[in-house]
């Protein structure tokens, strides 16, 4: 008994804090003892920052351009023509991009373009979630069904949904530092967007004289229904990244328990480092361009099967009139490639949106692969919302049919609240970045110890 007590060493506060901090690796809530194949997605700080900034600014471009795109297409066509044309063109861009990368870059030489990134069932599942989200958002925002001052601020709910999904469905462990960083970002978004959410007399920089100008001819009940559909679409968007994370980082066989990495990695023995490495499940390398290519190829089938939505009264533009539905669909597709008077600015806006959208999708998937976290990916996207509010403080989206936007800077409550919330959001992203880079260093050290152990044995 005395010998046992003598063998117990007291743990100091510094050691305890160190061990807690080292539990920030993006490991799984379950321990996998049977998986010995690891492919750590190595990346430099420069690459990581470039993709992070690309994701933020491509998201900003999509948030700004989509209402302009939807407005112009709806004047000559319908929502279905927008969904179908953009899906087909995006699939074409990603097919060409995959061929280009395979031919010109050695890194992608052995990437099988025709090979599915994972099973057809899983690919169909995430495609269905993604394009159901797209349809819900597009139809909800069409014809002023959702009040304008609700649209951009409510996009912050995506981060809240992703955060909630983590607690209820994710199998991966997130340390307190990452949870705290996410809470900071959510707080910053609330500070930045709360004023815009409550300001019903302003719509993307334009002063509204009467609330009926923003709400159209719809009743309050109709607005409530479509606002609910809009929120469901945002929830599906967060679900897409959560489900994709589960697919990419899935543990096949597990033993209950939490796995951590000891703070004494540098001094541990080789055999113990290999044991710790066996507890970490990292996804295999998948080309993000290849993944989004197959996502949109399957998406053509999903969107193609949604034509019947335009025939439903109160949802489609003309209801059950088959001839008008077909004409509107063809007119909407035609206006993507024509500068006719009836098409107005559809051609310019559609191609700008396509460029921004393809960059956004590719960057978001690649960033998810690098970070191994749907919450971090969505949090990075959310930074675009305060930036969009700042943009609309300098530029106005006018409600006329011929003009797109006009330059009219003004100091408003939207601008002030956005500038107050943006530093808070940036601080939360900085904490996320520090935690991620520390994890990368620990993964690298453990991997090197594992390689040394294999060489010795």
Can you give the pLDDT at residue 211? 67
Residues 261 and 334: beta-carbon distance below 8 Å: no
Can you give the pLDDT at residue 202? 82
Residue 391 lies in a domain: yes
Can you give the pLDDT at residue 25? 45
- Alpha-carbon distance values, 67 to 147, 152, 204, 230 (Å): 12, 10, 10, 14
Residues 70 and 397: beta-carbon distance below 8 Å: no
Residue 113 lies in a domain: yes
d(CA 368, CA 365): 5
Find all residues with CB under 8 Å of 57, minimum gap 6, and list them: 384
Residues 59 and 381: beta-carbon distance below 8 Å: yes
Exposure of 73 by Cβ count < 10 A (0-12 exposed, 13-18 middle, 19+ buried)? buried
Write out the residue range of the structural domain in which residue 166 sits: 58-456
Can you give the pLDDT at residue 278? 38
Residue 17 lies in a domain: no
Find all residues with CB under 8 Å of 70, minimum gap 6, and list them: 79, 82, 138, 141, 142
Bridge partners (DSSP) listed for residue 308: none
Tokens of 42: 């190595």
Give the position of tokens 């909407």. Answer: 332
- Burial code (b: 16+ CB inside 10 Å, e: under 16) for 231-259 equals bebbbbbbbbbbbbbbbbbebeebeeeeb
Closest by CA position to 434, among listed 154, 184, 81, 96: 184
Q: What is the 3-class SS of 182-248, one letter each residue? A: HHHHHHHHHHHHHHHHHCCCEECCEECCCHHHHHCCCCHHHHHHHHHHHHHHHHHHHHHHHHHHHHH
Type and span of the H or E element at 104: helix 79-104
d(CA 72, CA 216): 17
Closest by CA position to 451, among listed 19, 40, 108: 40
HSE toward the beta carbon, residue 410, CA cutoff 13 A: 14
Exposure of 360 by Cβ count < 10 A (0-12 exposed, 13-18 middle, 19+ buried)? buried
Can you give the pLDDT at residue 388? 94
Residues 253 and 7: beta-carbon distance below 8 Å: no
Can you give the pLDDT at residue 24? 45
Residue 19 lies in a domain: no
Report the number of distinct structural domains present in the chain.
1
Residue 64 lies in a domain: yes
> Which of the 8 DSSP states describes residue 284?
P
Closest by CA position to 163, among listed 187, 195, 138, 137: 187
d(CA 47, CA 288): 14
pLDDT of 339-377, one tens digit each? 887 788 889 999 999 999 999 999 999 999 888 889 999
Closest by CA position to 84, among listed 264, 326, 438, 442: 326
User: In a 3-state reduction of DSSP, which class is residue 411?
Assistant: coil
HSE toward the beta carbon, residue 397, CA cutoff 13 A: 20
- Tens digit of each residue's pLDDT, the chain (457 residues): 444 444 444 444 444 444 444 444 444 444 343 333 334 466 778 889 999 999 999 999 999 999 999 988 988 889 999 999 999 999 999 999 888 887 777 666 656 677 888 888 999 999 999 999 999 999 999 888 998 888 999 999 999 999 999 888 876 677 788 899 999 999 999 999 999 888 888 888 788 777 666 677 778 888 899 999 999 999 999 999 999 998 887 644 433 333 333 333 333 333 333 333 434 444 445 678 889 999 999 999 999 999 999 888 888 887 767 888 899 999 999 999 988 877 888 899 999 999 999 999 999 999 998 888 899 999 999 999 999 999 999 988 877 655 578 888 888 888 999 999 999 999 999 999 888 888 777 766 665 555 555 555 5
Residue 21 lies in a domain: no
Residue 38 lies in a domain: no
Residue 424 lies in a domain: yes
d(CA 40, CA 316): 47
Type and span of the H or E element at 30: strand 30-31
Output Rg (C-alpha) for the chain, integer angstroms. 25
d(CA 132, CA 306): 9
């Amino acid at each position: 008994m005395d010998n046992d007590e003598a063998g117990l060493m007291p743990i100091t506060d510094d050691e305890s804090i160190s061990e807690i901090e080292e539990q920030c690796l993006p490991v799984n809530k379950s321990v996998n003892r049977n998986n010995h194949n690891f492919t750590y997605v190595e990346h430099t700080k420069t690459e990581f920052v470039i993709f992070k900034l690309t994701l933020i600014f491509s998201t900003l471009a999509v948030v700004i351009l989509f209402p302009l795109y939807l407005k112009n297409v709806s004047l000559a066509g319908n929502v279905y023509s927008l969904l179908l044309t953009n899906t087909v063109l995006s699939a074409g861009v990603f097919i060409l991009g995959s061929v280009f990368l395979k031919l010109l870059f050695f890194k992608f030489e052995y990437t099988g373009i025709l090979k599915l990134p994972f099973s057809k069932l899983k690919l169909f599942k995430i495609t269905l979630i993604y394009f159901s989200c797209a349809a819900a958002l597009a139809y909800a925002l069409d014809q002023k069904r959702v009040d304008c001052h609700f649209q951009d601020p409510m996009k912050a709910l995506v981060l809240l949904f992703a955060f909630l999904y983590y607690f209820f469905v994710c199998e991966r462990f997130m340390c307190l530092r990452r949870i705290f960083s996410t809470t900071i970002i959510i707080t910053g978004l609330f500070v930045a967007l709360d004023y815009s959410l409550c300001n019903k007399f302003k719509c993307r920089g334009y002063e509204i004289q009467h609330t009926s100008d923003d709400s159209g001819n719809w009743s309050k009940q109709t607005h409530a229904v479509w606002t609910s559909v809009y929120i469901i679409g945002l929830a599906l968007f967060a679900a897409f990244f959560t489900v994709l994370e589960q697919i990419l980082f899935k543990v096949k066989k597990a033993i209950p328990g939490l796995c951590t990495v000891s703070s004494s990695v540098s001094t541990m023995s080789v055999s113990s480092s290999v044991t710790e490495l066996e507890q970490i499940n990292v996804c295999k390398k998948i080309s993000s361009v290849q993944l989004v290519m197959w996502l949109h190829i399957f998406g053509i089938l999903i969107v193609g099967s949604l034509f019947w939505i335009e025939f439903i009264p109160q949802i489609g533009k003309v209801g059950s009139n088959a001839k008008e539905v077909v004409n509107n669909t063809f007119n909407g597709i035609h206006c993507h490639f024509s500068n006719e008077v009836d098409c107005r600015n559809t051609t310019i806006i559609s191609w700008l949106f396509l460029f921004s959208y393809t960059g956004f999708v590719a960057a978001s998937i690649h960033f998810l692969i690098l970070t191994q976290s749907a919450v971090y990916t969505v949090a990075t996207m959310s930074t675009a919302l305060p930036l969009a509010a700042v943009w609309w403080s300098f530029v106005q989206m006018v409600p006329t049919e011929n003009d797109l936007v006009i330059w009219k800077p003004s100091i408003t409550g939207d601008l002030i609240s956005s500038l107050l919330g943006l530093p808070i959001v940036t601080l939360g992203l900085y904490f996320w970045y520090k935690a991620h880079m520390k994890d990368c260093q620990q993964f690298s050290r453990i991997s090197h110890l594992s390689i040394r152990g294999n060489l010795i044995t």
